[in-house]
Amino acid sequence: MHLALIGYGNIARQLLAVLAREEALPARLTVLALPEFVAGVRQALAEDLPATSVADTEIVTDSAALIAARPDLVVECAGHAAVQAHATAVLRAGLDVLIVSIGALADPALQQAVQAAARAGGARAILPAGAVGGVDILAALRASGISAVRYTSRKPPLAWTGTPAETLLDLPGLREATEFFAGNARQAALEYPKNANVAATLALAGLGFEATEVRMIADPAVSRNVHEFAVTAGAADFTIRIEGHPSPDNPKTSQTTVYSVAREILNRMREVAI
């Protein structure tokens, strides 16, 4: 398999580590990085990949070079700006793109552009479940009629560092669970872009951004990122709660996100996909 990564930060590095443990490293790897990060990416790749693991590794600095490499799958794992900068061009060129930063699609213009580019290129924009489970049944139940999707994100206070929650709460001094956001999924994804990919995923799988209810809570009593959502639909009602272990290098990200992306890649490589 020829795999391309947009960005080579925390998620990408963990992803390759998972693929290595599964004995499923790609035969060829292309990494798209900003020019100022190329030296750092080259060093990180040398640390992460033994010389014999990936036969052909290439670093490129723009969408055109990535497209020219013709990978089998492109994985975006570099944030909302990367989706805006590269996804439409890559899709229009006929390459499937797995979008990790799903919250970027809360921008209606970008969502429409991604869909149009995929249609024009005969490609697919793939949205992984990421940090949450149950997206398969949520998407399936849409045809039965969904009347409500309610999502609550509960994280340790310091996991909200660098977000607007800092201006609303004394995060280091918080002693009890405090809700600081209540709104819809579009508001959540736009105001908290590094923390609301799950809200965007549930919205796209179910009722849409405006009708998906979101609450965000800083809770000193939890040590993990807790995702809970309840669905009311014509064919079934269900509630799911997941306590994701935060990534050691970025507490805003649940480790389950990496394994969700790995699952999509492994499904493309193996004889039986599940």
Catalytic residues: 227
The residue with tokens 């992803």 is 15
The one-letter code for the residue type at 175 is R
Q: Tell me the residue type at 58.
A: E
Number of other residues whose CB lies within 10 A of the CB of residue 2: 16
Of 272, 271, 274, 264, which is closest to residue 3 (Cα–Cα)?
Answer: 264
